[in-house]
Copies of this chain bind each other. A is one copy, B any other.
Amino acid sequence: MISLQQLEKEAKPIQTYYKSATYSKQEVSYPERDIPTDATFHYKELAAKKHSEAERRRRLRINGQYATLRTILPNLVKTDKASVLEETIKNVRELQKTVKELKTVGRDRHKCEFPNEVNELNLSYSNGDGGLVKATLSCEDKPGLLSDIGRALRSVKAKVLKVEMATVGGRIKCELLIQGFKGNEGMVMLKRALKIVIDKPSLPGNYGKKICFYK
């Protein structure tokens, strides 16, 4: 059922939108000292008309924004103004949180998975009973790297339990889970050996042949 107000709003032009009775009411609330002439009356009538029309434009603008919000909000059940605003606030907060999380995840993944741009070497005891050591290294991808790492591990009698590696843009990142050497001295030796490996300069002109597939 369409309301009378809606009919007026949609069908009638602006000129016929204001009832003349309105302006007489205005005269009552203006306690005038002088008797109002026709000129002042018409001026005030005109001013009031301008005023109400301006206010109407303002309402129209705001209500347009509400309409837009109603269209872009997901899961909007109640469509009254307060509910629209409430849902908007919830939505904005949720979106801001989501964006923040996604960006954080992106950063973390970048930090955790990607080979670092600077050489990096990190050894740490993995909290377990078997005295496992986790080694993280990041360096330039160069020929003989795997062999060099293997030699370094052999030099401390270390056994590799697990390897995760990634190569991107000529940089390599490697995570090793190591077992076999005892005490701190082995750790220090391994660290020294690996440090030498990752800092060893590669020969120039070998890009694209850095990993040797031919044994």
A: residues with CB less than 8 A from B are: 25, 28-29, 58, 61-62, 65-66, 68-69, 72-73, 81-82, 85-86, 88-89, 91-93, 95-96, 98-99, 102-103, 105-106, 109, 146-147, 149-150, 153-154, 160-168, 177, 207-215
Are A177 and B69 in contact, CB atoms less than 8 angstroms apart? Answer: no
Using Cβ atoms and an 8 Å threshold, which residues of chain B touch A150? Answer: 212-215
Known: A92-B92, A99-B99. A211 touches B146 (CB 8 A): yes
Most chain B CB within 10 A, of A86, A92, A163, A213, is at A213
Rounded to whole Å, the gap between the CB of A215 and the closest CB of chain B is: 6
Give Cα distance in the complex from A30 to B115, angstroms: 80
Give Cα distance in the complex from A4 to B29, angstroms: 18
Known: A61-B82, A149-B213. A89 touches B72 (CB 8 A): yes
Using Cβ atoms and an 8 Å threshold, which residues of chain B touch A165? Answer: 165-167, 211
Output the nearest chain B residue to A73 by Cβ-Cβ distance.
Answer: B92
Are B85 and A65 in contact, CB atoms less than 8 angstroms apart? Answer: yes
Rounded to whole Å, the gap between the CB of A33 and the closest CB of chain B is: 19
Known: A69-B89, A165-B166. A208 touches B62 (CB 8 A): no
Are B102 and A82 in contact, CB atoms less than 8 angstroms apart? Answer: no
Report the 9 A-B pairs with minimum CB-CB distance, sorted nearest first.
Answer: A150-B213, A65-B85, A95-B95, A102-B102, A161-B208, A166-B166, A162-B208, A165-B167, A163-B211
Task: Please pick, from B88, B207, B211, the residue contacting A88 in the complex, using a CB distance under 8 A.
Answer: B88
Output the nearest chain B residue to A161 by Cβ-Cβ distance.
Answer: B208
